[in-house]
Amino acid sequence: MKRAASIEQTPAEVGPRRFRRRLERRFAECGVDIDGPNAWDIQVQNEDFFARVVAEGALGLGESYMDGWWEVRDLDGCLYRLLAGRLDERMKSWRDVLAWLGAAVINRQRGARVFEVAQRHYDLGNDLYEAMLDRRMIYSCAFWDESAATLDEAQEAKLKLTLDKLDLRPSQRLLDVGCGWGGALRFATERYGVTGVGVTIAKEQAAYARRICAHLPVAIRLQDYREMREKFDHVFSIGMFEHVGVRNYRKYMRAVRRCLHPDGRFLLHTIGGFKSTNHTNPWIQKYIFPNSMIPSRAQIERAIEGIFTVHGWQSIGAHYERTLLAWRANFERSWSRIAAHYDERFRRMWTFYLSGCAAAFRARQLDVWQVLLEPTKP
């Protein structure tokens, strides 16, 4: 027999209280209290928050923050505890199931979908990225070695770490797949004396990169990497592989190999995950990086089999949390200057994005790999 609702509870109140109790229990298991005293405890502003998160999981958590339904003083500390407690795995929503099924049926990185991430993320506005990034506009994990005290210095250290692995020589020809705003290619030509070609599918990035590389032996092309047919001494790609998709990994490797001289090297810099999957977090998919996914080591190794041989595999993911927090500090410091072009919901979305990614790296759910590859000998 079902227990009747108490006199103090109307039927309409029973459901919401059930959602609240469920979420309070799950959050407490991760060390986060609802309306608790700690900096990382969530302060709920709208009681519909509980039903929304129970029903929609990660998407509901992120969207409710964007809508101002909850506040927290230490956002990355809160999200770190939820991720470290595996809340994302224990509260899968129907949207996660649909995302998996959709990726299993549809190649999300083909056709017009290829350009969606450029339009919705990388072409948001160069003012945003100039406010957030280092002076070279490097939008990937920095390397905070003993010489690096600032973001500028840490990104320069990362570029040196990356390009030194290619053993570059003056006058060699270098291809940057997914060249961003051109900072890495500019550094390569100025530091090592090479010539270069950079390809990107983002119009704003291409325009910026052409401007800063105008005086250098560099060509910036608004072009899909799959269209490249030229030969280069070496190839590198920083932070682009996350947009390729598991169905296209082997095609990507063949395209790079087609452009590389037999004795050349390919340096792949990518975020990596410890479990193989075919889709990304639903909130990230909807608001930040559409059609993206994080590769696993097993997926990369299957993609290169018979095409490339691994010459070196370095993990630098421990440096990404500090990088993301530096970006967030720059973004917050510059908000008053760029606010006219973005609204408050965007500010909260971007803060949640940077804080959530920092939390994921702190929780060791993600890594960053630099994989040095050489063509497999016949």
Q: Are residues 60 and 171 in the same domain?
A: no
65, two tokens? 């923050």
Task: Decide if 314 is inside a domain.
Answer: yes
Q: Are residues 86 and 116 in the same domain?
A: no
Find the helix packing angle between 49-66 and 344-362, rounded to 10°: 100
Task: Decide if 168 is inside a domain.
Answer: yes
Structural domain for 333, as ranges: 111-375
Specify the pLDDT at position 118.
Answer: 61
Out of 57, 92, 127, pick the residue that ends a domain. 92
Q: Are residues 132 and 76 in the same domain?
A: no
Task: Decide if 4 is inside a domain.
Answer: no
pTM over 0.75: yes
9, two tokens? 């509870």
Task: Decide if 6 is inside a domain.
Answer: no
Q: 110 — phi, psi (to 5°)? A: -115, 160
Q: Are residues 148 and 188 in the same domain?
A: yes
- Measured distance CA(120)–CA(147) in Å, rounded: 35
Out of 43, 62, 92, pick the residue that ends a domain. 92
The answer to whether 59 and 92 have CB atoms below 8 angstroms apart is no
Q: Are residues 361 and 268 in the same domain?
A: yes
Residue 357 a catalytic site member? yes
130-140 confidence digits (pLDDT tens): 999 999 999 99
Q: Are residues 211 and 315 in the same domain?
A: yes
Bridge partners of 309? 374
Q: Are residues 197 and 339 in the same domain?
A: yes
Comparing CA positions, the residue from 113, 105, 98 lying closest to residue 244 is 113
Comparing CA positions, the residue from 142, 150, 221, 132 lying closest to residue 179 is 221
Q: Indicate the number of domains in the chain.
A: 2
Mean pLDDT for the chain? 89
Task: Decide if 97 is inside a domain.
Answer: no
Q: Using DSSP, state whether 368 is helix, strand or coil.
A: strand
Specify the pLDDT at position 371.
Answer: 98
Q: Are residues 87 and 183 in the same domain?
A: no
Which residues of the chain register pLDDT less than 50?
1-14, 94, 97-109
Alpha helix segments (H runs only) across the chain: 11-29, 49-66, 75-84, 87-90, 94-105, 116-117, 126-132, 151-164, 183-192, 203-212, 249-258, 282-287, 297-304, 320-338, 344-362
198, two tokens? 């950079």
Q: Are residues 227 and 284 in the same domain?
A: yes
Q: Which of 179, 213, 259, 357 is catalytic?
A: 357
Task: Decide if 105 is inside a domain.
Answer: no
The answer to whether 163 and 187 have CB atoms below 8 angstroms apart is yes
Out of 28, 58, 92, pick the residue that ends a domain. 92
DSSP 8-state assignment for residue 44: E
Q: Residue 22, exposed/middle/buried by CB under 10 A (0-12, 13-18, 19+)?
A: middle
Report the 10 Å Cβ neighbour count for 30: 18
Q: Are residues 70 and 129 in the same domain?
A: no
Q: Provide the CATH number for the domain around residue 350.
A: 3.40.50.150
- Measured distance CA(98)–CA(116) in Å, rounded: 20
Q: Are residues 167 and 273 in the same domain?
A: yes
Q: In what order do the strands lie in the sheet with 173-177?
A: 218-222, 195-200, 173-177, 232-238, 260-273, 366-375, 308-315
Task: Decide if 102 is inside a domain.
Answer: no
Task: Decide if 104 is inside a domain.
Answer: no
Q: Are residues 243 and 336 in the same domain?
A: yes
36-56 confidence digits (pLDDT tens): 999 999 999 999 999 999 888
